[in-house]
Amino acid sequence: MHSAEALPESLRAEVDRLLSSGDLFRYTADSDAPATLLEAEFAEMMGSRFALAVSSCSAALFLSLMALDLPRDARVLIPGFTFAAVPSAVIHANCLPVLCEVGENYRIDIEDFKTKLPDVSAVIISHMRGHTSDMDAIMALCEAADVPLIEDAAHSLGTTWSGRRIGTLGKIGCFSFQSYKMINAGEGGILITDDADLVARAIIMSGAYEHNWKKHPVLQDAFARHQNKLPLYNLRLSNLSAALVRAQLPELPRRIKDGLRNHDLVAARLATSPYIDVPAPLPPEVRAPDSIQFNLTGLSDETIRAFSAAAAASGVKVQVFGQSADNARAFWNWQFIPDLPELPATRAVLMRACDVRLPVHFTTEHCENIASTLLEALENVTRAAA
Ligand SMILES: *Cc1c(COP(=O)(O)O)cnc(C)c1O
């Protein structure tokens, strides 16, 4: 279930060039370094003014918070259902995570969001597993409260909201190129924004020491203001990683199309079970999924665990977020957060929410088999429990 698609053949010549020249550091060449070209291509693809390639999406989230220049111990609102990297980036930036409840459809609970927004200095919305929260409501609330919005679009490259690209709705959008995301460079990330001063600060802090910032096409007076005034965290992306990402950009439309096809095929099959609820997308949302999430209904914890074991025995890994030990997406395991709160609604969702990977290179036949395996496992354990 964690197999990856082969990287494009077109890469070989570029990787050979980098290996024979040894030109791996993004700031060695005077111009046209792969990392610089990636930034230009990614910004163009997304319709953003600026992009900064970094070592991970976590680094992009951290730099986004640092670039916002929040005071120490500023409170940052994040979803109660996301990957542990998100609260970790908040802690890393000397801020305090405030957790917001999510609903049964894995999206931000807007009522809880409204309650908590007045006490925070910034918001990070994780489009967890590519599920988009009600961005119209969230953008309007953030704007009215004058609170900057960062989109964690690590798992949402290719998703649109009313035709707009996810990651371009907030002040900053952050993406991941880790292997389980839409583009696989092993590790890597990128942030996009239209704000010249903000990206200038992020560029310097990412490790554009001395005058290396001159190699970024950003208004140069934005940099002059910050010269020697910001710490350097060295979170740059190497040219080799950038080359891996660039070669996959043309593959993206196909991956988005196949991912949605695979997801919708399995979703339609699973929806035939009386024990499964597959939350529908919100109307403005067109997703680019590489996994499927669904809720088990009317089953005991014991039957849920038996289902997961039966599916695993037949070769399909089902992770029940709240029932697998030390799951990094279960908020009660984020014990590095001071005064970790309880989120009863989110906990209830996680106890019966299932996660199955559907890598986009899987064929429809493979996906049919996964759906059949899941339905059979469920039938067996519910018959045994009856
Ligand atoms: C993968 C992921 C991250 C972390 O990305 P890295 O590049 O591994 O740091 C953050 N948020 C979400 C929602 C993710 O899926």
Q: Return the CATH number at 54.
A: 3.40.640.10
| Residue 158 covered by a domain | yes
| Residue 6 covered by a domain | no
Q: How many domains does the chain have?
A: 2
Question: Of 251, 267, 285, which closes a domain?
Answer: 251
| Residue 372 covered by a domain | yes
* Per-residue pLDDT at 347: 98
What mean pLDDT is predicted for residues 351-374?
Answer: 96
What mean pLDDT is predicted for residues 6-10?
Answer: 92
* Per-residue pLDDT at 61: 98
Name the residue of 2, 155, 245 to mutate for ligand 1: max ligand atoms within 8 A of Cβ: 155
Nearest residue CA, atom 13 of ligand 1?
128
| Residue 330 covered by a domain | yes
| Residue 309 covered by a domain | yes
* Per-residue pLDDT at 260: 97
Same-domain pairing of 235 and 303: no
Position 134, amino acid: D
Rounded Cα distance between 205 and 47, Å, is 24
Residue 386's pLDDT band (boundaries 50, 70, 90)?
Answer: confident
* Per-residue pLDDT at 385: 78
Q: Is residue 26 within 6 Å of ligand 1 at its C-beta?
A: no
Question: Of 220, 251, 282, which closes a domain?
Answer: 251
Percent residues over pLDDT 70 in the chain? 100
Q: Is residue 135 within 6 Å of ligand 1 at its C-beta?
A: no
* Per-residue pLDDT at 200: 97
Same-domain pairing of 264 and 239: no
Rounded Cα distance between 364 and 266, Å, is 9
* Per-residue pLDDT at 342: 98
pLDDT digits (tens, 9 = 90+) for 82-131: 999 999 999 999 999 999 999 999 999 999 999 999 999 999 999 999 99
Q: Which residues contact 115 (CB under 8 A, 6 or more apart)?
A: none
Same-domain pairing of 256 and 198: no
Same-domain pairing of 363 and 239: no
Residue 196 main-chain phi, psi, to 5 deg = -65, -40
Please say whether the dihedral angle defined by the alpha carbons of residues 368, 371, 374 and 380, taken in this order, is positive or negative.
negative
Pick the atom of ligand 1 nearest to 177's CA.
7
pLDDT digits (tens, 9 = 90+) for 162-190: 999 999 999 999 999 999 999 999 999 99
Same-domain pairing of 231 and 113: yes
Name the residue of 181, 184, 329 to mutate for ligand 1: max ligand atoms within 8 A of Cβ: 181
CB neighbours of residue 305 within 10 Å: 15
Residue 281's pLDDT band (boundaries 50, 70, 90)?
Answer: very high
Same-domain pairing of 323 and 338: yes
Same-domain pairing of 183 and 305: no
| Residue 1 covered by a domain | no
Same-domain pairing of 330 and 200: no
What mean pLDDT is predicted for residues 289-313?
Answer: 96
The separation between the first and the last C-alpha atoms of the chain, rounded to the nearest angstrom, is 31
Q: Is residue 154 within 6 Å of ligand 1 at its C-beta?
A: yes
Domain that holds residue 260: 252-385
* Per-residue pLDDT at 77: 98
Same-domain pairing of 206 and 256: no
Mean pLDDT, rounded, of the chain: 96
State the pairing for strand pair 164-165/291-296: unpaired
pLDDT digits (tens, 9 = 90+) for 41-56: 999 999 999 999 999 9
Question: Of 251, 286, 319, which closes a domain?
Answer: 251
User: For 324-354, b where at least 16 C-beta lie within 10 A, e where not — what string?
Assistant: beebebbbeebeebeeeeebeebbebbbbbb
**pTM (global) more than 0.85:** yes
CA 128 to centroid of ligand 1, rounded, Å: 9
Rounded Cα distance between 164 and 135, Å, is 11
pLDDT at 384 over 90: no
What mean pLDDT is predicted for residues 283-300?
Answer: 97
Rounded Cα distance between 308 and 378, Å, is 9
* Per-residue pLDDT at 63: 98
Same-domain pairing of 206 and 276: no
Same-domain pairing of 303 and 181: no
Same-domain pairing of 245 and 256: no
Residue 128 main-chain phi, psi, to 5 deg = -60, 130
| Residue 229 covered by a domain | yes
Name the residue of 176, 190, 191, 245 to mutate for ligand 1: max ligand atoms within 8 A of Cβ: 176
Q: Is residue 89 within 6 Å of ligand 1 at its C-beta?
A: no
User: Among the residues of the chain, which ranges form H helices?
Assistant: 11-21, 34-46, 57-67, 85-92, 110-116, 135-145, 196-207, 220-224, 239-248, 252-270, 301-313, 344-350, 364-385
| Residue 4 covered by a domain | no
Rounded Cα distance between 186 and 177, Å, is 7
Please say whether the dihedral angle defined by the alpha carbons of residues 220, 242, 157 and 138, taken in this order, is positive or negative.
negative
Pick the atom of ligand 1 nearest to 60's CA.
9
pLDDT at 219 over 90: no
- Sheet bearing 319-320, strands edge to edge: 276-277, 291-296, 353-357, 319-320
Q: For position 355, which CATH number holds?
A: 3.90.1150.10
